[in-house]
Amino acid sequence: MTDAVRTLISKAMADVPDVQPAEAFAPSNIALSKYWGKRDKARNLPLNSSISISLGDLGSHTSVALSPTDKDEVTLDGETLDPDSAFAARTLGFVDMFRGDKHLPLLVQTRNTIPTAAGLASSASGFAALTQALCAAFDLSLSGTDMSRIARLGSGSATRSLWHGFVKWSKGEAEDGSDSHGIKLDHRWDNLRIAIIPVDKGIKPQSSRDGMNHSARTSPLFPTWPAQAEKDCAFIETAILERNFDALGPRVEANALAMHATMIAARPPLAYLTEKSWSVLANLWNARDNGLSAFATMDAGPNVKLVFEENSTSDVLSVFPEAQVISPFSDHAQAPS
């Protein structure tokens, strides 16, 4: 199989250097226009383009070093994982793209500043940080675009976590996936805010990967999704470029609800949103009837995220006192750029 990512790594790895201890941070991201469905599972290529906003200092810190023992070791938030656990197996499978069949036992440590697997996109920041740490550990000097292509193989949404701010994942056309990567939109929106309304920090019942494949395979609503999602993505990109919140907000919410509709119509149904998520939405819609300008988006988990502008912050907090408010363009001290 011709695969742009594997060719890229093997070219850069012509002389395998020693592994240097390395560490990287990548921000989590929330899709304003969602990726849901693959046209190529092996290369992890999407059916439609998507656009995200990063979450400042919320993300993953990942370090890579030679293992002090003769075995691979994977830790998550300070805890050593069973190598057969889903997280460790996915991490080590990704590491294998770099080390091939060489005997290089590694210690990979990840610390998330966002709850893992609760639909808050920790796999996005996790694979983006892991890609950067591995490139540094193996002394590969690759561009952000190339690292975004590599991160995509870990998790599609990770392709958008190489940068802060707005990032578009252009679905691309090439069969080998070479034109399917993140593109940082050179556009700030300083008074844009995201609020996380925590609903449940537990592990989600089904991974987003399984959920999207199940929706694509069985949902009678799925066939219309990719074309609509592509339109939403273009519309949202224009709203960002024009800094037009009245256009952005409603389309962000409509796009997320359309994605969840494909899952609810799947057979059997798939519901990441719980009773509590729906009650947050009901409160939001009620507050909107009374003048609040905030819109919701939800991923493969029960938590609800709100998008609004700075002048609505106190109104959002009076309806949702538990909200964690993020300023995507100022809440970060760390690289990436």
Q: What are phi and psi of 318, to 5 degrees?
A: -75, -30
Residue closer to ligand DP6, measured from CB, 287 or 298: 298
- The minimum distance between CB 115 and ligand DP6, in angstroms, equals 14
Site for ligand DP6 in 107-146 (CB under 6 A): 121, 123
Of the listed pieces 68-76, 142-150, 154-162, 173-181, which binds ligand DP6 according to CB under 6 A?
154-162
Identify the CA nearest to 222 among candidates 42, 41, 38, 30.
38
Q: For residue 295, what are the CA distances in angstroms to 193, 288, 313? A: 11, 9, 12
Closest approach, Cβ 258 to ligand DP6, in A, equals 12
Of 235-274, binders to ligand DP6 (CB under 6 A) are none
User: What is the contact mask toward ligand DP6 in residues 36 to 55, using x (rule: CB under 6 A)?
Assistant: x-------x-----x-----
User: With respect to ligand DP6, which residue has the nearer C-beta, 233 or 319?
Assistant: 233
> How near is the Cβ of 152 to ligand DP6 at its closest, in Å?
8
Whichever of 73 and 299 has its CB closer to ligand DP6, that residue is: 299
Binding test (CB under 6 A) with ligand DP6, winner from 45, 196, 300, 304: 300
The 186-225 site mask, x for binding ligand DP6 (CB under 6 A), equals ----------------------xx----------------
Determine if 181 is a binding residue for ligand DP6 (CB under 6 A). Answer: no
Q: Which is nearer to ligand DP6, 19 or 119 (CB)?
A: 119
Shortest reach from residue 29's CB to ligand DP6, in Å = 7
Q: How many residues in the shown chain lie near ligand DP6 by CB under 6 A?
A: 15
Which of 31, 64, 151, 192 is close enough to bind ligand DP6 by CB under 6 A? 31
Q: How far apart are CB 158 and ligand DP6 at their closest, in Å? A: 7
Torsion angle defined by CA atoms of residues 307, 311, 315 and 321, in that order, rounded to the nearest 10 degrees = 70
Window 155-174: residues binding ligand DP6 (CB under 6 A): 155-157
Give the residue among 130, 136, 120, 133 at the shortest CA–CA distance from 153: 130
Write down the least CB distance from residue 162 to ligand DP6, Å. Answer: 14
Residues that bind ligand DP6 (CB under 6 A): 31, 34-36, 44, 50, 121, 123, 155-157, 208-209, 299-300
